Amino acid sequence: MSEMRVVGVRVELPQNQPILLLRETEGERYLPIWIGSVEATAIALEQQGVRPARPLTHDLLKDVIGALGRNLEQVRITDLQEGTFFAELVFDGDVRVSARPSDSVALALRVGVPIHAEESVLAEAGLIIPDEQEDEVEKFREFLDSISPEDFRGADT
């Protein structure tokens, strides 16, 4: 299992599809995950430190978890099946709740907990983006120009 950090959220054109890009903290692999626009906005707002006048869904969930006296300990991206990523929220007491990676990452950023990806997910969908001299945003743009969501569907689909 590798710890990941959020590089950012970008919109792939011309499909106008948001992509969450994660990178191994102690490695070279990137993990692109296509996500919904609402979750992309929630992640981007948190990364930019923007506080909406009223809590968004992920802010509310953070508050509910705290009010119930629980602690989110980490987020895990656990599986990739037929182009769909799966994640889980890991709470104190080893309580686990299945969730979408986009919601999980939005919550992890708000709570300040680590994000991990299973090695099997990174082996299947992780990418090494060449040319280490460029900054990550430029590499991400080049990467978006070279791929499509179909690139992440299993070989047997």
CATH number at residue 121: 3.10.690.10
Question: Is 153 within the bounds of a domain?
Answer: no
Q: Would residue 151 count as lying in a domain?
A: no
3-state secondary structure of 155: coil
- Looking at residue 13, its pLDDT comes to 74
For residue 14, the model assigns a pLDDT of 75
| 45-60 residue pLDDT tens | 898 888 888 888 999 9
Look at residue 140 in the predicted model and tell me its pLDDT: 67
- Total domains, the chain: 1
Give the structural domain span for 54: 2-146
pLDDT, position 157: 44
Does residue 85 sit within a domain? yes
Which residues, including other chains, have CB under 8 Å from residue 149's CB and lie 6 or more apart? Answer: 17, 34, 83
**pLDDT < 50 stretches in the chain:** 133, 155, 157
**Phi, psi (rounded to 5 degrees) for 27:** -175, -175
pLDDT at residue 131, as a whole number: 57
Residue 95 lies in a domain: yes
Nearest partner of 74 among 107, 49, 35, 48, judged by Cα? 107
Give the pLDDT score at 149: 59
Quick check: is 7 in a domain? Answer: yes
Predicted pLDDT of residue 152: 55
